Structure 1
Amino acid sequence: MRSFRRAVYLCAAMVLPACGVDAPTGGLEEMLEVREAELVSAVSRGCVFELTSVVRAGTVPPIHDILLNRLASGTCAWPAASVGLGSSVIATPGLNLVANDLGVAAGFTVKNSYSGSSPMTVGIRHVDPELMTVVRSSGFAVYLGTGSVWLGYLAIGSDGTTLTAGGTKSGRLGNETGSGGNFVATFPDFFTSTTPPTVVAY
């Protein structure tokens, strides 16, 4: 998706001047900057949600703010809206998004410090699709910050309530069983409870 969008914007930058039309000043740069992380989307209650990140103005090194946007459409009962879910220092966040009628689950891999040696961590949020508020916050970090963790995917089970998160890591996560550089975390009743996940390493 990101590559396609970038190709469209770059084509526009070349075609418009060739047709005698000036490209909008800063417009293409802004669009590319806004979509600097891969954009992912999901649908809940007829509404399309997009998760992306934006470089916060005036930050050097950059701070990437993670935004969940609800798009206005004929199938959505509510207007366009946006909510901030977190931020990443220097590193462009990795993004994951899934949804059903119970809610929206957003996941992201971020760096929380300017230090070059600071680890990557994972955040997971349950967002109410109507109110656009964070209902539940969870996440993963390697014990005592001695390594990093990266989210590879989110998935909602066939029961509609179990959320599974999987990825890789370079250390031990809190409360994990097993061992290895990969993990799977299972949240039972993710959208309707605050039951902590079971985490299995392999």
Structure 2
Amino acid sequence: MPRVIPTNVLLEAYSRGVFPMAEEGEILWFSPERRGLIPLDERFHVPHGLKKAMRKEPFEVRWNTAFREVMLGCADRNETWIDDVILESYCALHAAGHAHSVECWDEDGLQGGLYGVELPGVFFGESMFSRKTDASKIALVALVERLREDRFELLDTQWMTSHLRQFGGYELARKDYHAELERVLDRRI
């Protein structure tokens, strides 16, 4: 059994805006200079083509029914930062109720999804994957809808990508991100 990062260490790190990634057998900790976020207000944008695809309801969206499988789907690529230590650490975090998966299923099985970590008012998106067109995007839209319903204030994506920008994703400087994270957590705890 691989070693794991203790749940309390992970939660403390996230509360301080720091997260782990595996690289060549080592666990490295990151706090990017510019932090990626997805808005949870009217600035969140669903691209027209995705809206059209969603009307056809190609997937059944489920929550927390295949957490490990979602992580394995996210890790199934040429280069990954999800090794056995990260996998087991986040599965333990999930078992403790602090990590969640959003999954897209069809008659052929799990086709995509995402997972992340939850603290009061904040969701830290870790990774997403798709085996079929739009599966991860539909999981992201479902996540945003749920976070809005539950009155979350921040959806952290760690780094910004062009893929996330199409949803209204933006960046904050580390200092501003840390201030915003602290503000949300102070209000919620």
Q: TM-score, normalised by structure 2?
A: 0.26
More strand by share: 1
More helix by share: 2
Structure with higher Rg: it is 1
